[in-house]
Structure 1
Amino acid sequence: MPAGSTLPRRALGRQLRNLRERNDISQAAAARIAETSSQTYGRLEDGRITKVTDMLLNTLANAYQTTDAERRLLLTLAQEIRTSAATGGGWWRAYADSMATNFDYYLSLEGAANWVTSWQTTLVPGLLQTREYRRAITWATSPETAPADVDRMLDMAAKRQGMLDEAGFRFEALIAEGTLHYQVGSAAIMAAQVQNLVDRSEQAEIRIVPFRAKNPAGLIASPFVLFSFPPLLTSKLQEPPVAYVEGLAGDLYLERETEVSRFSHEANMIRQVALPRSASRDLILKAMKEWQA
């Protein structure tokens, strides 16, 4: 199998699975359409195959009654698979201007993960943000965005947060105490946001790294997210974890075991200095009262 990032392959597999299930087509029927075995097609949806032709994807797109945008997305992902294999890169960087329309690798990874660990030093993690807190961030970072586009983004964010209610999904939020005090929007927005952390503390594992932590573990690291996944549906193989780091120039997705292990180690160090969940909740409640004053 050619070397390269597994991210485009995983994304293509998930996209094909979603389109197939939307049309109520079985894997066996999809395999017949693709003129291949059920096992081979299953590996395709699992992201285990790198050689994918445009002809094959166009055939499946026809059968799945895709929109033009969905078809372009499949073909774009196939091109990214080929590019990744040719470069042999163990990591894959996605810049905003090269992303396929209406598709986000972060959302794809988040939707497939069964355990997400988020370390944040300045902002509340996305899955725990209130609508108005997120709106304030959007206006601050992208003031030229049309109000209708902002609302669509907020609707998508709200839909994502439904994952917190899903059985088998674990969200671990490791948050620096300063995040509770950095003002985003108005004081009322902050009060509601901190209240939301209290409300979500049963669904998410929210732990605060206090100002007086015994050592600076995590504070010298940039915010990052670790995605862990359940076994693949068809092959039952264990999908390797991915680390994500957001940057101004682009978003970095790391897959090499040696690189991901560094983030896993950092997360363990942060856990050691973070307050227990109950003490974290008390600290959040204190911050909420300050914002309400």
Structure 2
Amino acid sequence: MSTEATPTTAPLNITDTLSRFRPLHQAFQIEEEEDEQDRDFMSLQRVTADVVRPLIYTSNKVALDYLLRSLASEFLQNLTAEVASQPPYYPTGDQAWMEAFPYLEERQAADNRFYALHIINLMADTVPAIARQLSKDILFLEGILRLMFSTYIRFANPLGVEKGTPLHHHNVSDSSEANVSWLPQWRVAVRFLTFVAAVYDLDNVRLAWERVQSETKKGSEKVQSRNANLLEVFQTTISKLGAKGADSLDDNERMAIVELTQFLGLVIRGTSGPSPGILPTLRQELLKGRDTRVACGGCGTVYDKENLLQACDQCEPPSSS
């Protein structure tokens, strides 16, 4: 096998890594055999965490990369389809507005999509090739933003829909303050979108943002609620959290301000685009300390970077010529 880089570590123990992968492989096989209506990505996320957590805690990112490469090739499409199929909250087309008011999926369906996104985020954060692939999928990126918007609508209920209204599965808060229990889920989505925008494809993330913002703005105008479009949700959330004061914020809220602000700084097109230096600075911050090594799937040889990875005789038969 010809090589372009000297391995930085001993070859990966593939047998050991695959033994850790087997429970996850079995869990996905079971999930694939289920009817689409019966899918339960919550249990799948738990199995994923149980299998992957030991590799994270031991800082064995090469083994984790190898494991998720194997996983993604079989199951990533099912997971991304779950997120990409998130319907818009507002009906589309004038005829639809005559027949139906904005609606929400049942809580279980929305949660299932977020559990799928959690698994995808873990894969993309570990395997650069997956992140690059997903950054090109506009429908998937739009699905994330729609999922975020619908989750906010469910909890904050800015339209004041009464509990029990058909097609409106809201979690109405008894408090006069906005319910921010959706923030942890939002942060998973925002971190993923910020990462792929800053490192891989800013234009595609911006395009997805503009499309979903356009549909939510049109919908909010129809229902005459200025706080019911995607940009207003971001800005209102940042403003309300900031108004609480630094001493009153918990860690989740404090990080949410930073992450939501970073994301808006990337996707909103001003007269001169993002502030000078924001993109390279953010990219450097997101890539800092990342372990970029990968292992060959045939022999386990470890290379410094993915673009140096080459097929060996064990994973690709030699040419007959």
Query: Shorter-chain-normalised TM-score: which range?
Result: 0.3 to 0.5
Larger helix percent: 2
Which has the greater radius of gyration? 2
Larger strand percent: 1
Q: What's the TM-score, normalizing by structure 1?
A: 0.33
Q: What's the TM-score, normalizing by structure 2?
A: 0.31
